[in-house]
Copies of this chain bind each other. A is one copy, B any other.
Amino acid sequence: MASRSTQILEAAARVIARRGVRGLRVEELAAEAGVSTALIYYHFKDRTGVLRQTLAFISDRAERYTTDRDPDDSPLTPRQELEESLLLELQDTAQVRENSAAWGELRASAVFDEVLREDLARATLDWIQEVAALLGRVLPMTPASLLAAAAERLTALLEGLSMRWLSGGTGIGHARDLMRGAIDAELAGLRQN
């Protein structure tokens, strides 16, 4: 059912995960998708068009796997939900790797590209608020500002760990341990207030 465009975007996500945004070559993308380069220009106008649509495609997909979880059986505790949500981004699967790599690329590119900044800031804020809400469910009655600060730290740490994982410095298991440790530490800190 996947249309040609979708097929190309899926291939683009794989290529970006492998080579980065800057490393994406239209020719390699064509080979990965099993089509000619001309067809890519036909569907996406130019290389930038491919990039833009691929990033949109990827963030769609990330939202989808984040919420994929309700085979109506075991309901999670708030604490489990929090941990689950954060550790979801630290898994060695092709899809998560692709998404994380793309996110990291986006973040890094935004440092030098004003155009990307706004979208990225908005997406980050949404994410922080989501995590703050999860924290709030674990520890109700906690002041919102403290929840927000903890959520900012946890998400920023996750981005940092994710980059270290992808850049080969840290094993995925170790990164997950560190993340769990940080959740413990933040919850302990919040309880002390």
Residues on A close to B: CB < 8 A? 18-23, 101, 104-105, 107-112, 117, 120-121, 124-125, 149, 152-153, 155-161, 163-164, 166-170, 177-178, 181-182, 184-186, 188-189, 192
Contact = CB atoms under 8 A, between A and B. Distances in A.
Contacts of A149: 177-178, 181
Closest 10 pairs between A and B when the two form their complex, measured CB to CB: A160-B160, A156-B160, A108-B108, A22-B22, A110-B167, A20-B112, A159-B160, A185-B189, A157-B157, A111-B166
A189 B187 CA distance: 10
A131 to B, nearest CB: 13
Contacts of A23: 112
B185 A121 contact: no
Question: How many copies of this chain are found per oligomer?
Answer: 2
Given A161-B156, A169-B124, A181-B149, A108 B20 contact: yes
Given A20-B112, A104-B108, A121 B182 contact: no
Given A111-B104, A163-B107, A181 B169 contact: no
Contact of A156 (B22, B124, B157, B168): B157
A106 to B, nearest CB: 9
A20 B111 contact: yes
Contact of A153 (B21, B155, B159, B182): B182
A48 to B, nearest CB: 13
Contact of A167 (B18, B22, B101, B120): B120
Contacts of A111: 20, 101, 104-105, 163, 166-167
A168 B107 contact: no
A178 B105 CA distance: 23
